[in-house]
Amino acid sequence: MNYWPAEQTNLDETTRPYDRYISAMVAPGAKTAREMYGARGWVVGNETNPFGFTGVHDWATAFWFPEAAAWTTQQLYDRYRFTRDVDYLRETAYPVIKGAAEFWLDFLHTDPRDGTLVVKVSLAARGDGGTGWSKAWKINFWARLLDGDHALKMLGEQIKTSTLDNLWGTHPPFQIDGNLGATSGVAEMLVQSRHDYVHVLPALPPAWRNGSFSGLRARGEVTVDATWKNGAADTITVHPGSTGPIRVKSGFIAGRYRVHDEKGHEVGPHRDGDTLTWNATAGKAYIIQNEAAIDVTAPAATAPDASFPVDVAVTAIRRRGERCPRPM
């Protein structure tokens, strides 16, 4: 959890100790998988230590978590998705991921009632309470559900009730998971890329009316900058690290927009709803400009089946051909 924000916030170099730590658990984890579960691959529970402990510990309410190996290896695969480093995938990530997968191939059983392996639990039923690390999880959850308001609510709860005066996250007395997990949640509110496109401002809360960010990373080796005004994206700049197709998604793309490179040359992307696709060149910058603002005014509440007025204003926010400042 502490490494969740590493790739998105462009701190890839900080992940090497994590890679070494997870890789070091494979050998003792294989012994635990074989002797405790009769399975191939490797496993680790919800608690370990610097000496390679991979068994279960003596906390009756929380010792059972054989999913930890599969969970921790997701970070390794995500690093490959962000960097596209094939040598890293081949030499470091894949052997560890393969072993974690082999354990679950032996350990999972299909539910005969519906053929599924996972039961979906409503996030809302869990409520908004919890420790600092729990609230950090929920910031990320609500951001992934594209609910910026609720993500911001959880961020506020994190700061107000689960953060000390010195800005440490509480458990108590202190657990860094809350700090770094919340950082990841904010990044998820601004950029998401777990699918095959870069989604910019996917969970922007209305309270963040104006703002900007630069240097966030997306899977596919893409760096992203953006500004927004009056709750809508104004400019999005993407910096691809490799040549090939790129897909960018944002709400304003369904309206009027302009795409050009850092030299002002027009780019003719294919549009599908609110998503643009074009062939990008590594090392170039591509700027997507919003050319229209839409403002909707409606009553905050109304009675069932009642009519009510709605005002919609569409305003041009820049002339066609007007350029943004060149990216740094």
Task: Judge whether 286 lies within some domain.
Answer: yes
Q: Does residue 328 sit within a domain?
A: no
Tokens standing for residue 77? 């695969």
> What is the pLDDT, as a whole number, of residue 314?
73
Q: Do the beta carbons of residue 225 and residue 252 sit within 8 Å?
A: no
Entry field: residues in the chain: 328
- Give me the pLDDT at residue 323, please: 53
Asked whether residue 208 falls in the same domain as residue 312, the answer is yes
List the CATH number of the domain containing 286: 2.60.40.1180
Residue 126 token pair? 């869990």
Residues 206 and 294 placed together within one structural domain of the fold: yes
Q: Is residue 287 part of a domain?
A: yes
Say if 96 falls within a structural domain. yes
Contact 139, 181 (CB under 8 A): yes
Shared domain check, 129 and 96:
no
Cβ neighbors of 236 (< 8 A, separation 6 or more) are 200, 224, 225, 226, 248, 250, 287, 288
Same domain flag for 177 and 215: no
pTM for the complete prediction?
A: 0.84
CA angle 255, 322, 320 (to 5 degrees): 45
Torsion sign across C-alpha atoms 133, 193, 121, 75: negative
95 shares its domain with 132: no
Instruction: Indicate if 69 and 149 belong to the same structural domain.
Output: no
Single-letter amino acid, residue 181? G
Residues 76 and 151 in one domain: no
Tokens describing residue 76:
């390794």
Q: Is residue 168 included in any domain, yes or no?
A: yes
From first to last of its 328 residues, what are the pLDDT tens digits of the chain? Answer: 899 999 999 999 999 999 999 999 999 999 999 999 999 999 999 889 989 999 888 876 666 788 899 999 999 999 999 999 999 999 999 999 999 999 998 887 776 677 766 575 556 766 788 888 999 999 999 999 899 999 999 999 999 999 999 999 988 788 899 999 999 999 999 999 999 999 999 999 999 999 999 999 999 999 999 999 989 999 999 999 999 999 999 999 988 999 999 999 999 999 999 999 999 999 999 999 999 877 778 887 888 888 888 887 777 777 665 555 555 4
Domain boundary among 76, 107, 138: 107
The answer to whether residues 221 and 307 belong to one domain is yes
Angstrom distance (rounded) from CA 171 to CA 176: 9
| Rounded to 5°, angle at Cα 162 from 142 and 218 | 40
| Domain-terminating residue out of 192, 216, 242 | 192
Residue 117 belongs to a domain: no
Alpha-carbon distance of 224 to 277, in angstroms, equals 16
Residues 27 and 56 in one domain: yes
Same domain? For 210 and 176 the reply is no
Range of the domain at 271: 198-316
Q: Which of 192, 223, 243 is the last residue of a domain?
A: 192
- Does residue 290 lie within any of the structural domains? yes
* Number of structural domains the chain divides into: 3
Whether 326 is covered by a domain: the verdict is no
Considering the domain architecture, whether residues 40 and 66 belong to the same structural domain is answered as yes
| 236 and 141 fall within a common domain | no
